Structure 1
């Protein structure tokens, strides 16, 4: 009895000191999660499960209790309810902006100790659908082109709703990362390898849509949701790339790398590749369930 109790206490202490790490990505329809490997262990296959109907829409949890219970039950079924969880916040819930910091273009050496607080004091027009005092912000330094700061934002109440979901799930929450940031980290090698004059475009399949993100010199430049049918995606994509070349002072045939984050339905991918105004490369997520999970894994120090 004493030995059994000591073993149980040791297992509890070990799980707290050396927790298993799980990364999790949410869309309106699907949850994708994966256990991160420990030293010298192979990467497990991802868990891809549909969400209960009408629990999430537009990046917002509509039924926090049902969604929290679902996530908790899922982790329990995989024996990972005590894991340290890192979560990708859905892209529609998050916003990011690249800008000079402060707005008077002070040198990066003058980076303030509390940039989010100073952002609120400066009151810049970031084109967000909510007032600055209603949002949660993080500001991080970047270097590239004329930009030296990346601002990520989420409406404060929406963030509270997501925190409540994971509180109901009964999990240990390590970090919440906007999808756009997770994608950028997952793509970091490609962004660093690209020439500073090359645009790097990422296409992410969504239900009845494609999300387009574009970087130049490692800095986010553009984001747009391409909606409609595939032929409409192609027309919108061509117009976006033409506009970006003009905006960046590039020639009409200026260099663009176009990457597809995940495969499309049968027939769609071939039609997209044939009709695409640029060669299209399908990304390899390196064994992770998707590019966002790869980004989270890199943030957690995994490879």
Structure 2
């Protein structure tokens, strides 16, 4: 018995050894290296960086640009998941349950799922370049052209410090919502249709169907979506860097932590300071994921 158990343990360990070693080398080791570099003044060219302790973190917390980036990430952290999930839930419910014919969804729902998902297929850089043209501040812009024809433009979607952030948020929602429509549709497909039909027979309205059946039974999926969208909000980079003016908007009106990490590392060659930013961003992301999972924890509903 002992020998069989030993052979089984050895067999499992032999399969796990390679991925664990790769994870330690390519994930954990770079994290440890980043934590060390964050306490140096390394500029990326010297072989032996000078250890300066927590000076980078002290400087970071006195940096007004850093606090602007944190404010924008915090705003995205709240608004991006909230808006995306609300829109995606609405469309998923409409496509799968809220149609005119019982609980079968609207006609052509499969086609609409493909249409909604299409932005997810595009690379982030492609989306950023695309919306640069949409937001152009002249008559050739897709939005400003009609606005100028009506005498209402041009509007500085990317150049106005009061509007640029909302333009970025709108693009992020546009790209993300299709994936979560498909995700919530898959969750709805797993809910027995008998539950919706029984509720309709009892006289439940579509609003009641959504809040009393759909949302409770999709709660685990919504929770997962919230965590993923929150991490996306903290990790956003390409949209801001490619689409906005000056790689962060006028007066840093759209800058985020990831953009400041890149700027400090590869434009100013302050790798130690950039690593300190990365360490702070790492703890923000892990803290958000843990907090979200704890606050949204609830008893699982079986059906």
TM-score bracket, shorter-length normalisation:
under 0.3
Q: Which has the larger radius of gyration?
A: 2
The higher relative CO (CA closer than 8 Å, separation ≥ 6) is in: 2
Q: Going by fraction, where is strand more abundant, 1 or 2?
A: 1
Q: Going by fraction, where is helix more abundant, 1 or 2?
A: 2
Q: TM-score, normalised by structure 1?
A: 0.24
Q: TM-score, normalised by structure 2?
A: 0.24
